[in-house]
Chains A and B, each alone.
Chain A
């Protein structure tokens, strides 16, 4: 009787990529500081979720975009070993370039054939200043981008909800329905932190589970997304420390 063969069994990588707007306007009203703090504070929760789902190997990366797009964390980094370095705000909003940068990495290889659908979180407070359409088209040519869970967080009133919606994909038919398949509007540091926490824990948990869904059904997006956190949507009603 032969012994167990020398094959590579592996848990499935779950790539989680932040795309962070670092344009000059992010320096205003403490937005950049709030974003850095929200991501840093979310890491312990994300680590717990990763530990609870050992079948998924959560790997984090981040892109910053201002005048140009750069990998802020270029290596897919296991969340338990991640140390967040603060992003700095300065320049324009090269969102299209950021999408192209991510597209290059969502190709197989370097993407693993057996990876779970990646999670892409786009965070912005303004409008793209470069060719967003070309960047999005380039991104969406990659099958892994099409399979990805694409979320967007709009900081304040000036964020371009239309381009963020294009990044996410078609919005749910019910206009009144609160849905993660629409841009999540963070009106202050508290709601931003809640959304970042939700994306890095609840969404990562859902994306880690070995479940299937029906072909041809787009009701849930690419994975069944968990409920949104109970955050006030209307900034006028918000009780956070500062309204953006």
Chain B
């Protein structure tokens, strides 16, 4: 498996969607959609984009085939516009932070708004069939998930919402599912959706950016699928093996040179027919020269068949190695520069994200005292930390999705909830609160697991460096050689 142009470039992304066996039998249209695109950044770097979307199906979501198509089109279009105006040469850590925020907040907001506008326009121009005559417009009719992956020579990232899966295949590391929907609080076949009022806030939990510079530059393959593929597999090991096969099947030099994706289509049809019966979509791309690694994949698959515990967390591909966060805060000058650069390109997320956060510091003396006491209580009995945080799983999500929630827990004197909320990546930070290393590590780990079960977030601006929170006190600059901070290794 090899990328099309040069040893360290991405292959042109490929996408396919196939109508599921169940829908074919009922003459229901395919409710999945997928799309990919290639473009150039402002400084001429090649950029790839790939998207998949899964319309919900079922009578309530009767236009979800239109919803998923529009979702893919708009995601690719809006991301392309931003990236075509943006110089991407450097791939520094601060740039990755800004990209992270663009993918987590700015771009989703625009995608959701554009999607809502587009479905409303579609509804107004649509002649309703007899069974839907007189029905008022509802975004639910168009309900769909969405996944978007951005590929550049120096970094790649993903965002989206709903029950899609992203598999990362690397040389020398086990294949793994790097992003999947957590089912905390979701019942049955429930999923997050573009038609939810809170849709844009759902993207952050599925956003991550990975550096491809310096030591992080490794050959890899990405296989993005709608849930129909994974649900067709008996276990995750089968899903990983299937992902590797699909990537090999779509080798640029073979299938596409022949101008055909027939074999890939046939494989997708077989997956649906012998599996879940659901519509199936795949989008895939390859970076560098990915060696076949059947032994590793098979080992993981075999291990999983006997033990369904989660796969190992990646150690080398995130912009900062998980478990080894940078000891210094990114310099304010760099953040400012990145903000200016990105704002010039239409990406104002850096400033915007900060504005979204409640300005809490300085907290009242009583509140600080409450936080200190809670921190001391847990640090005196570190064995309680993990269980205490585990019990707050839902609260982590609420605090992430609703900025007002932090104010609420402070008002209610829920000091552990407040510690969690203050410590969230990009959040207000713990200020002068004294926190032991065990609690710091545990909070960081829980946030990392929530935001991406398999990856650290870019830059680790995670609010956990006490005494480093005040923007007027920038830390000394790292000399540009931190994770993701080096220049491109060409």
Binary contact readout A59-71 vs B (1 if CB under 8 angstroms, 0 otherwise): 0000000000000
In the bound complex, do residue A210 and residue B276 qualify as a contact, i.e. CB atoms below 8 Å apart? yes
List the B residue with the shortest CB-CB distance to A115.
B231
Judge if B330 is at the interface, Cβ distance under 8 Å. Answer: no
| Residues of A with C-beta under 8 A to B276 | 11-12, 55, 114, 210
B216 interfacial by beta-carbon distance below 8 Å: no
- Check A117 against B189 for contact (C-beta < 8 Å): yes
Q: A1-B249, A2-B245, A210-B20 are in contact. Are A8 and B234 (CB under 8 A)?
A: yes
Q: Is B254 an interface residue (CB 8 A)?
A: yes
Which of A86-94, A196-204, A213-221 has 4 or more CB atoms under 8 Å from chain B?
A213-221
Q: Is B428 engaged at the interface, CB distance under 8 Å to the other chain?
A: no
CB of A113 closer than 8 Å to a CB of B = yes
Q: For B308, give its contact among A4, A108, A211 (CB under 8 Å).
A: A108
Choose among B236, B242, B254 the residue with the greatest number of A CB atoms under 10 Å from its CB: B242
How many B residues face the partner with a CB closer than 8 A? 56
| Cβ–Cβ contact A222 & B188, under 8 A | yes
Cα-based distance from A1 to B250 in the complex (angstroms): 10
B277 and A55 within 8 A (CB): yes
Cβ-defined contact, B196 with A214, below 8 A: yes
What is the chain B residue whose CB lies nearest that of A219?
Answer: B60
Please tell me if the beta carbons of B277 and A11 are within 8 angstroms of each other in the complex. yes
Chain A CB within 8 A of B403 CB:
no
Considering the complex, give the chain B residue whose CB is closest to the CB of A143. B183
Stretch in B9-17, B50-58, B114-122, B461-469 touching the partner: B50-58
Residue B185 CB within 8 A of the other chain: yes
- Verify B308–A109 contact, CB threshold 8 A: yes
Stretch from B34-42, B146-154, B263-271, B318-326 at the A interface: B263-271
**Residue A223 CB within 8 A of the other chain:** yes
B193, A215: Cβ atoms under 8 Å? yes
Please tell me if B73 contacts chain A, counting CB pairs below 8 Å.
no
B143 at the interface (CB under 8 A from A): yes
A-side interface mostly: loop
* Interface assignment of A5: CB less than 8 Å from any CB of chain B: yes
- Which residues in B have their C-beta under 8 angstroms from that of A112? 234
| CB atoms of B56 and A146 under 8 A apart | no
Q: Residue of A at shortest CB range from B266?
A: A4
Q: Does A209 belong to the interface (CB within 8 Å)?
A: yes
CB distance from B394 to the nearest CB of A (A): 12
Name the residue of chain B whose CB is nearest to the CB of A216. B196
> Beyond A2-B245, A2-B249, A224-B58, is A211–B190 a contact (Cβ under 8 Å)?
no
B61 proximity list for chain A (CB < 8 A): 211-212
Question: A9 at interface (Cβ–Cβ under 8 A)?
Answer: yes
**Whole-angstrom distance between the alpha carbons of A55 and B254 in the complex?**
32
With CB as the reference atom, state the residue of chain B lying closest to A146: B187
A28 within 8 Å of B by Cβ? no
Question: Are A213 and B22 CB-contacts (below 8 A) given A10-B275, A113-B308, A114-B233?
Answer: no
**Chain A, Cβ-Cβ closest to B188:** A222
Asked whether, in the complex, the Cβ of B231 is within 8 Å of the Cβ of A5, the reply is: no
Which chain B residues numbered 1 to 49 have a C-beta less than 8 Å away from chain A?
20-22
Question: Residues of B contacting A190 with CB < 8 Å?
Answer: none
Given contacts A9-B232, A108-B308, A146-B187, contact A213 B238 (CB under 8 A): no
Q: Say yes or no: A214 contacts B191, CB within 8 Å.
A: yes
> For chain B residues 218-271, which have a beta carbon within 8 Å of chain A?
227-228, 230-236, 238-239, 241-242, 244-245, 248-249, 254, 263, 267, 270-271
Q: Could you tell me the distance between the alpha carbons of A114 and B234 in the complex, rounded to whole angstroms?
A: 7
Known: A10-B275, A114-B231, A114-B233. A224 touches B187 (CB 8 A): no
Q: Complex formed: what's the CA distance from A109 to B145 in Å? A: 29
Most buried by A among B162, B188, B232, B238: B188
Tell me if B94 counts as interface (CB < 8 A to partner A).
no
Contacting residues, chain B, for A12 (C-beta < 8 A):
231, 275-276
**Other-chain residue from B58, B60, B186, B235 in contact with A209 (beta carbon distance below 8 A):** B58
The chain B residue sitting closest to A3, CB to CB, is: B245
A221 vs B60: C-alpha distance in the bound complex, in angstroms?
A: 14
Query: Across the interface, which residues of A come within 8 angstroms of B238, CB to CB?
Result: 7-9
B residues neighboring A (CB under 8 Å): 20-22, 54, 56-61, 140, 143, 145, 162-163, 183, 185-193, 195-196, 227-228, 230-236, 238-239, 241-242, 244-245, 248-249, 254, 263, 267, 270-271, 274-279, 308
Q: Which 10 A-B pairs have the closest CB atoms?
A: A55-B277, A222-B188, A210-B278, A8-B234, A211-B58, A211-B57, A9-B274, A7-B238, A212-B56, A9-B275
Extra contacts besides A4-B267, A5-B241, A10-B233 (7): CB < 8 Å: A56-B277, A210-B228, A210-B276, A210-B277, A213-B191, A215-B192, A224-B59
8 A-B contacts (beta carbon < 8 Å): A8-B235, A10-B274, A10-B275, A11-B275, A114-B230, A210-B231, A214-B140, A222-B189
